Amino acid sequence: MSEHIHTSIANRTGTIVLDRPRTLNSLSLAMVRAIAAALQAWRDDAAVDAVLIRSSNDKAFCAGGDIKFFHDVGTTGPMGGSALLEDFFTEEYALNHLIHFYPKPYVALMDGVVMGGGMGISQAGPRCRLRVVTDKTKMAMPEVNIGLFPDVGGSYFLARAPGQLGNYLGLTGLTVRAADALYVDLADCFVPQERMEALMALIEATPGAGLRAAVEGFAGAFKGQQGASVLEAERATIDRHFGAGSVAAIMASLARDEGVFAQKALAAMKLRSPLLMCVTHELLKRGAALDLADCLRLERTLVRHNFEHGEVLEGIRALVIDRDNAPQWKPGTLEDVTPEMVERFFEPVWPASAHPLRHLA
């Protein structure tokens, strides 16, 4: 189904390998469909006891969705409309839901870059997941960089991060490493990248029924070796600033703090879309009170409004197409963002009975 997804079954473990190294394994619609097809087939297959998902290379697990594809298809139709674009987000979010509730152990080797959509295919639910990070892991939910918002269930798992860490990650889009991923509960265990070859040998020799326990046991030898967590050290600072009631209040609070950490966060936010930061802030607030299915349905609504507005298309243009790094956000300043502009993103697009993700439970 996709030349960039390789699937196999060995020793009662179903393995999915992402193999699109030139784009850091960014997800195409065909890749989403291939992953979903494999997981659906293995879900009820008595010959498969566990699933492993990994990359073919050590540079990236998955850098997210194929944003060049988003721009290409999003600019072909009126108001950013495209059947392929609609299909991508509907099927990607359905895949995120499938992974979260997978009935068998789901082991993700999150080596290298893990961002956006890569988080969506690795953040399985607590009953099935084992998320392995390395010293080369670079993790982020960077959607605000391109005028989008944290999707693929980000409104669910960021909203449940301790304290204000979810707001920090969602509003700044900044990258964190293994120690921070473990601290925020976006990863479960650490293995040095130089030991990944040995881990793969263990995985290949282990029957699927014992896969999760074997990987946990292997990683146990490196517990505490991931280094210090910057987010843990700065937790009080993060909670103080990002607990303010609005994006404007957060940025004002950061501006009063001369510390290096606060100023780095502020500098990042100054580059982001003012409107989409406000949308993200509201999304995480709402997501805290919703289950995963309703979070994904809400995100699907926001995606439609976002492409109709055009902010994400402008962000991708500036970052990837023209590479001028000078997006013309609308509106251009935080002061010009009104509550009505934010609220419009949350207006229902479909009746509940016709929502493309109405089947999620």
Tell me if residue 257 is catalytic: no
Taking Cα atoms as reference points, which of 96, 116, 80, 146 lies closest to residue 320?
146
* Nearest CA among 47, 30, 16 for reference residue 122: 16
Q: Report pLDDT for 73.
A: 84
Q: How high is the pLDDT of residue 77?
A: 63
Domain 5-354 bears CATH identifier 3.20.10.10: no
Confidence (pLDDT) at 75: 81
Structure token pair of residue 101: 């509730």
The verdict on whether 287 is a catalytic residue reads: no
Pairing of strands 50-55, 5-10: unpaired
pLDDT of residue 71: 87
Sequence-separated (6 or more) residues with CB below 8 Å from residue 140? 114, 115, 116, 169, 173, 174, 175, 176
pLDDT score, position 155: 98
Residue from 49, 151, 282, 299 carrying the catalytic annotation:
151
Catalytic residue among 64, 65, 80, 208: 65
The rounded distance, in Å, linking the Cα atoms of 238 and 265 is 10
Instruction: Please name every residue paired with 132 in a beta bridge, in sequence order, or none if there are none.
Output: 109, 189
**What pLDDT, on the 0 to 100 scale, is given for residue 81?**
59
Distance, CA of 154 to chain centre: 6
pTM score, whole prediction:
0.96
Catalytic residue among 49, 135, 143, 234: 143
Percentages helix, strand, coil for the chain, rounded to the nearest 5? Answer: 50, 10, 35
Catalytic residue among 117, 147, 153, 170: 117
Residues of the chain with pLDDT under 50: none
Q: Is there a catalytic annotation at residue 65?
A: yes
CA distance 221 to 154: 31
